[in-house]
């Protein structure tokens, strides 16, 4: 059954435009409340990132849940993986995250976690959608839900993150820069890394509701790279607005992306006899990572883009490690969802155990040049059946042979067609990517 509102990562869009409106979130809260109430009695956690519209949507969700007779625990600003953790450990019926992740402040969205700390199953999302389109009612006043703040949420999550690395490790010799993207980790990440012993310099930790992800964080790590060099730090950690992405910067100011970080963690697990199952990447995962893992004797499986699909494939193949080059990294031996802070701690642990720098650790795999061109679109296209585009794609694939790839896909979270070309020669790859993107633009214009 096709879903009307839920996408690959919840519901997301521009604030004030359907469905990202106060009245929709009121109805969504009520619809979710009706479904959760039918599954059994309990409470629902509601957390958010730092964008200004979060206050409005928090109130709307709370009102809807209350009208459905469901109790609410309000967490305030909390990283998405922190809400997943608290949903599981507090045995809440569900966790709701108000966030648009790496998007600008004028976007917002919502995603749900089950009591297991994982994304909601499709059938539950479909039940919620059916209630969204039904008339809203209110339970008897004696059965209305109650709401209260959970004041120790941040402290609980900080301790959980610290416990993901052995206490025997001493990080006191490390100087690190942390960029919190003015997002939900601003009051958490600095404490985690300083409390495990590192010397911490923090940037991007002054949210004002409008500056989340603004020229900072995992999607814009250039400022972090400059700060790492200026402070002569050992490395930098860039998180995104809701804390589920990680990009790192080595001591030379070079970006270390999600593929390289997954490779580092996989090799560390393998060296200690802790690696089980395949590594799961996506259609966007660099060929260099696949070849690097193969040299270690590890296989890579490719899921569709989106951490939901990575998680599904990990579960299906009994894997413990997967993620995306954008920085979503899932360590199932440590937690239940992508977590930027926990992934960074795993990399730090390997640096400490091996005595190697981040720059040295990433050199185990060599990335192929990969060019991504985003084409804005306001309509749906069947890219696989367009003759003009497919003719160009097939011609380029023939020229690349086994040493490259072409991938076209529609973004699941933004109005974009993503054109990716990968190969051994950067200039050639760049020309091919723009050639395909130009064809996409022409077809869209037609």
Q: Are the beta carbons of 149 and 74 closer than 8 angstroms?
A: yes
Which DSSP symbol is given to 78?
Answer: -
35/136 Cα distance (integer angstroms): 13
User: What are residue 77's DSSP bridge partners?
Assistant: 48
Q: What is the pLDDT of residue 414?
A: 76
- Residue 360, classed as helix, strand or coil, is helix
pLDDT for 2 equals 80
How far apart, in whole angstroms, are the C-alpha atoms of residue 121 and residue 113?
9
Q: What distances in angstroms separate CA 374 from CA 281, 338, 377, 428, one per listed residue?
A: 21, 24, 9, 18
Residues of the chain with CATH 3.40.120.10: 11-152, 171-256, 257-367
CATH 3.30.310.50 residue ranges for the chain: 370-445
Distance CA 126, CA 118 (A): 16
pTM of the model: 0.91
Please identify, in words, the CATH class of the domain defined by 257-367.
Answer: alpha beta
CATH topology of domain 171-256: Alpha-D-Glucose-1,6-Bisphosphate; Chain A, domain 3 (3.40.120)
Q: What is the third-level CATH fold of 370-445? A: TATA-Binding Protein (3.30.310)
pLDDT at 62: 98
For strands 370-376 and 416-422, give the pairing. Answer: antiparallel
Concatenate the DSSP letters of all residues of 132-176 into one string. Answer: HTSPP----GGG---EEE-TTHHHHHHHHHHTTS-TT---TT-EE
CA gap 189, 186 in Å, rounded: 6
Please give the CATH topology (third level) of the domain spanning 11-152.
Alpha-D-Glucose-1,6-Bisphosphate; Chain A, domain 3 (3.40.120)
User: What is the mean pLDDT for each group of 10 consecutive residues in the chain (446 residues)?
Assistant: 85 96 98 92 95 98 98 98 98 97 97 94 93 96 97 97 96 97 98 98 98 98 98 98 98 98 98 97 92 95 92 96 97 97 98 97 92 86 83 92 86 82 91 93 78
- Show which residues are catalytic: 101
């Amino acid at each position: 059954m096709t879903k009307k509102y839920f996408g690959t990562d919840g519901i997301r869009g521009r604030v004030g435009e359907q469905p990202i409106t106060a009245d929709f979130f009121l109805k969504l809260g009520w619809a979710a409340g009706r479904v959760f109430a039918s599954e059994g009695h309990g409470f629902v956690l509601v957390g958010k990132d730092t964008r200004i519209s979060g206050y409005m949507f928090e109130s709307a969700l709370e009102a809807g849940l209350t009208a459905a007779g469901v109790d609410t625990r309000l967490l305030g600003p909390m990283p998405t993986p922190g809400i997943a953790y608290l949903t599981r450990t507090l045995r809440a019926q569900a966790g709701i995250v108000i966030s648009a992740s790496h998007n600008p402040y004028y976007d917002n969205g919502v995603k749900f976690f089950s009591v297991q700390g994982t994304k909601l199953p499709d059938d539950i999302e479909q039940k919620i959608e059916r209630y969204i389109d039904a008339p809203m009612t209110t339970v008897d006043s004696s059965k209305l839900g109650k709401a209260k703040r959970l004041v120790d949420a941040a402290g609980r999550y900080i301790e959980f993150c610290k416990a993901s690395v052995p206490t025997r490790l001493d990080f006191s010799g490390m100087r690190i820069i942390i960029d919190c993207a003015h997002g939900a980790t601003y009051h958490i990440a600095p404490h985690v890394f300083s409390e495990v012993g590192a010397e911490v310099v923090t940037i991007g930790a002054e949210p004002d509701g409008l500056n989340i992800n603004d020229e900072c964080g995992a999607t814009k790590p250039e400022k972090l790279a400059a700060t790492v060099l200026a402070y002569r730090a050992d490395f930098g950690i860039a998180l995104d607005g809701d804390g589920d992405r990680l990009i790192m910067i080595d001591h030379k100011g070079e970006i270390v992306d999600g593929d390289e970080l997954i490779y580092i963690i996989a090799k560390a697990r393998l060296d200690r006899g802790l690696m089980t199952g395949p590594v799961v990447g996506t259609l966007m995962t660099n060929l260099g990572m696949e070849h690097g893992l193969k040299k270690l004797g590890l296989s890579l499986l490719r899921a569709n883009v989106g951490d939901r699909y990575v998680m599904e494939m990990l579960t299906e193949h009994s894997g413990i490690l997967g993620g995306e080059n954008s920085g979503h990294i899932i360590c199932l031996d440590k937690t239940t969802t992508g977590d930027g802070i926990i992934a960074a701690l795993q990399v730090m642990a390997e640096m400490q155990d091996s005595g190697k720098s981040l720059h040295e650790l990433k050199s185990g795999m060599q990335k192929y040049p990969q060019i991504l061109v985003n084409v804005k679109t306001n309509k749906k296209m069947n890219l696989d059946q367009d003759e003009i585009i497919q003719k160009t794609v097939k011609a380029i694939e023939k020229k690349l042979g086994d040493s490259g790839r072409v991938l076209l896909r529609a973004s699941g979270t933004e109005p974009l067609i993503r054109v990716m070309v990968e190969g051994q020669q950067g200039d050639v790859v760049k020309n091919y990517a723009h050639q395909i993107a130009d064809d996409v633009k022409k077809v869209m214009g037609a």
